[in-house]
Amino acid sequence: MFRQAIKWVRANRELLIDVSDQIWQFAELGLEEFKSSNLLIKTLNEAGFSVSSNVADMPTAFYADYGKGKPIIGILGEYDALPGLSQKAKPFKEVLTEGAPGHGCGHNLLGVGSLGAALAVKDVIDLGNMRGTIRYYGCPAEETFNAKGYMIKEGLFDDLDIAMTWHPGNLNMLNLRSSLAMNSVVFKFHGRTAHAAADPQNGRSALDAVELMNVGANFMREHMISDAKLHYVITHGGDVPNVVPAEAEVHYFVRAPERHQVEELYVRLINIAKGATLMTETTMEIDFLSGMFNTMYTEVVDDVISDSMKKVGAPRFNKGDITFAKELKKSIPKNSLEEYYKFIPPDMMEFGKAILSQPLNKIIIPPIGKGKVDLGSTDVADVSWKVPLGEFETACEILGSPGHSWQNVATSGMSIGHKGMLTAAKILAVSALEFMQNPNLVENAIKEHNIAHKDKPYKSPLPDGLKPPFHRLKK
């Protein structure tokens, strides 16, 4: 059974690589992944999956089922790119299309690795010895908005038993670290225009309000917990200096290890914005774009994935991959590995240093980082509060490669990324089949999840009636 799934991935590696490379070429931004989602849907349709497209008010969101009855095992797929990261699959910086997006987070690999797993499980189901349903979730806009949160509100996860996902990374390792909960919000200020030199007394500057809000927010930083993060960018500040700006806006991310901490900081930030309106005699409106939870993994799911990683093994890189990685590493800052040392236990430090000295990770790393918090945010977290979830990463990037970088775009479009992706497909498929043939594991995972959330029920951070923020897309 497990061998059959692994055999399917091996036999269809060229198909999966082709789909991944096409999505790498498309490099579409969040909520605009039309070509990418259509290609995934086409592949699933041709394999006989029942596909529901254009779900949760998002044209590029979908899910696809194959099989019958319980358990329903869900595998999450993503396929959005990042702005301004266009790069050729070369070990030195060379733009593919000036100013265009690129897959600096490897979501072309993520979406297709998950696709490969779903198709491999389908192949085993067709043999007639496996009961249950495999479900692929096509999830857009992970980089910018909580698309999975909208899908949860739509009820698309209500009947799911187990969820699994993976992410391209530097290491072959189970992910035990939590993520930061987050709010993404735009504060829009409205003032009154006037000639900045001849008639300033009649102007009320919306830009002044933005700047005063930012000053207040920066003073608030001293009085936040040390693990919280607050960052912003002024998205509009006026047009010319000699006209008092009547419109200005600032986009904030509020992050913290726990959801309730984000909500508390968010209330304080709103009060600061209100104070800015009083000081400038302006008005304000809030454009809440997205909110998400911190990740809570389920140990039963983690254990199944961990066992599957041992069965499958790490990607096998050849001399060409190593040569490419060594050349690419010349562009990596020397201090880029320091963040990894924070998560290595003292008794594993020598082992960790030996691993990190290599350009590519070629073994399965023992699970580390439990109880630690990663510095990013992801809408995978909302799924983890809804159903039992586990996550891992495989080596698709060189060690030390910065997140969201052109270096990651390069490796996600060539054999290093391909090999990590195919390994992930095998691990997900083996894990899904383990749950399908072992109902007790599913029951234990659900029981563990329910106990963990007994006093922490999931409540969507997305206000009722909120729609996906298409109005924020650049024209």
The pLDDT tens digits of the residues spanning 251-299 come to: 999 999 999 999 999 999 999 999 999 999 999 999 999 999 999 999 9
Burial of 316 (0-12, 13-18, 19+ CB in 10 A): exposed
Q: Structural domain boundaries of the chain?
A: 2-179+294-452, 181-292
The pLDDT value given to residue 352: 77
Query: Domain 2-179+294-452, what architecture?
Result: 3-Layer(aba) Sandwich (3.40)
How far is 445 from 162, CA to CA, in rounded Å? 8
**Domain 2-179+294-452 matches domain 181-292 at the CATH topology level:** no
- For residue 340, name the pLDDT band (cuts at 50, 70, 90): confident
Q: Is 138 helix (H, G, I), strand (E, B) or coil?
A: strand
**Residues 37, 414, 84, 58, Cα dihedral to 10°:** 10
How does pLDDT run across 343-393, given as a tens digit for each residue? Answer: 777 777 777 777 878 899 999 998 888 888 888 899 999 999 999 999 999
**332 within 8 A of 405, measured Cβ to Cβ:** no
**162 within 8 A of 442, measured Cβ to Cβ:** yes
The pLDDT value given to residue 353: 77
Strand 72-78 to 162-169 pairing? parallel
How far is 11 from 15, CA to CA, in rounded Å? 9
How far is 81 from 168, CA to CA, in rounded Å? 13
Which CATH fold topology does 181-292 show?
A: Alpha-Beta Plaits (3.30.70)
How does pLDDT run across 35-81, given as a tens digit for each residue? Answer: 999 999 999 999 999 999 999 999 999 999 999 999 999 999 999 99
**Res 324 pLDDT > 70:** yes
Q: CA–CA distance from 76 to each of 25, 252, 358, 371, 471 (Å)? A: 21, 27, 30, 24, 26
**78 within 8 A of 107, measured Cβ to Cβ:** yes
Q: Is 436 helix (H, G, I), strand (E, B) or coil?
A: helix
**Res 26 pLDDT > 90:** yes
**Residues 86, 151, 262, 284, Cα dihedral to 10°:** 80
Burial of 95 (0-12, 13-18, 19+ CB in 10 A): middle
**Amino acid identity for residue 33 in this structure:** E
- 347: Cβ contacts below 8 Å, ≥ 6 apart: none
How far is 161 from 443, CA to CA, in rounded Å? 9
Instruction: Give the rounded percent of residues in the chain with a pLDDT score beyond 90.
Output: 88
How does pLDDT run across 77-128, given as a tens digit for each residue? Answer: 999 999 999 999 999 999 999 999 999 999 999 999 999 999 999 999 999 8
Token pair listed for 272: 């600061």
The pLDDT value given to residue 326: 96
Q: CA–CA distance from 452 to each of 161, 387, 389, 427, 449 (Å)? A: 16, 11, 12, 26, 5
The pLDDT value given to residue 198: 94
pLDDT mean over 413-431:
98
Q: What is the DSSP string of 252-307?
A: EEEEESSHHHHHHHHHHHHHHHHHHHHHHT-EEEEEEEEEE------HHHHHHHHH
